[in-house]
Each structure stands twice: as C-alpha cells, then as structure tokens.
Chains A and B, each alone.
Chain A
Amino acid sequence: RKEVEQDPGPFNVPEGATVAFNCTYSNSASQSFFWYRQDCRKEPKLLMSVYSSGNEDGRFTAQLNRASQYISLLIRDSKLSDSATYLCVVNPMDSSYKLIFGSGTRLLVRP
C-alpha cells in the first residue's frame, strides 16, 4: 500500500464548478498535512496546510479526518487558472522531517 494515495484523475470541469479531491495516508502517526499545487514542468508550490479543525483559504477548503486517515480539498468556483496537478503531502513527523507526496490529481478547468 502506498503511503499517500490520491484520486487518479484527471478531473475535467467547467469554469465555476466545485470540485473535490480526496487523499488517504497510511501512517497513523503522521502529524502534518499539506496540499501542494504543481504546474506542468514546474516545482510544487504550497497551496495550504491542513489542520484538524479544517481550514479555508478563499475558494479552497481543506479537511482532515484523523480517524479515517483521510484528507480532502474542495475548490469552489473553479477558474481556468486552477488547472494544475494537486498533490497531497504528508509529513510523517519522524526525525527526518521528510515529505511524502501522493501521485497527484490533475485538474483541467475548461471555459
């Protein structure tokens, strides 16, 4: 089983749509969770951290369910510029501080 698993995608949605991505992680001791965005042939960029209480940043809402080891990202009112690959990322919080990346979900927002 992969340490971090995501919806395979791609998601092809019209502008203005609401889209949700899911992610599960295998290490129950993990403490930090993130969503990163990666554009084609670019480095990943932090979109938002994910907190236990859930958090929102504009059109983006992230949720964490520790009991189910499940993370989600909701994007409302999709824009063309949201087209990218969204990476679910987990920090297992061992002494190495390394990040474990999911395989990513590709989003295509069409006019």
Chain B
Amino acid sequence: GAVVSQHPSWVICKSGTSVKIECRSLDFQATTMFWYRQFPKQSLMLMATSNEGSKATYEQGVEKDKFLINHASLTLSTLTVTSAHPEDSSFYICSARVDREIAPGYGYTFGSGTRLTVV
C-alpha cells in the first residue's frame, strides 16, 4: 500500500518549453506532497511543500513562478517547469506523507522520479 505513481519517468524537451510532472497517490489520500530536485552527485533538495487545496510553500531560492505546483485533489499533485532551460535539467521526485493512523508503520512514500533533460 501507500504507492505514489510519478509520470513521466523521463522527458527531453526543448529550451523554452514547459513540462508537467504528475504524482498520483494510488491507494491513499495525500494531504501533503513534497517536491524535491536532485542534481548529479548531490542530495535531494526540497523545492516546495504543497497541501491539498492551498498554495504551495516554496523553499528559499526556488522561483514559484517558474515551478508551478498544483495540488487540487487529495490524489494528484503536479509540478510544471515553465520555460525550461538547460540548467533545469535534473531529477525531480515527489514524496507524500502518509498518515500513520491510516497506514501504521509508513511515513513517507516517494515517487519513482522524473529525469528532465532540457536541450
């Protein structure tokens, strides 16, 4: 249980275009979704925290107008990289917090990640 499905797993796009990444919770309701970015040989850096039905909270240094997050339902959160540039090429991962009362023993579940390459 507590699976987050993330799509696409990889995408190549041209500079200046926008890319949408989806994360769906398959068998639970994800009240809170975290979005991370990981550059090669670096760790996961939290970009933003989104709560269903409200605006996302962005970490310092992350441009909210460039990385649009939508969490309109309890089972779907999306990250859109707008006007992508080569420096946005990275591994993007979502993570949902699983309510322990619903799924004892679980904490956080991660999507499988999206490798974005901007050319």
Residues of A within 8 A of B (CB): 32, 34, 41-46, 49, 87, 96-104
Contact = CB atoms under 8 A, between A and B. Distances in A.
A102 B110 CA distance: 17
Interface secondary structure of A, over-half rule: loop
B8 to A, nearest CB: 14
5 contacts: A41-B91, A43-B110, A44-B44, A44-B93, A101-B44
Contact of A43 (B34, B45, B107, B112): B112
A86 B115 CA distance: 20
Given A43-B110, A44-B44, A104-B43, A99 B57 contact: no
Contacts, number: 43
Interface secondary structure of B, over-half rule: strand
B29 interface: no
B93 A43 contact: yes
Contact of B42 (A44, A96, A103): A103
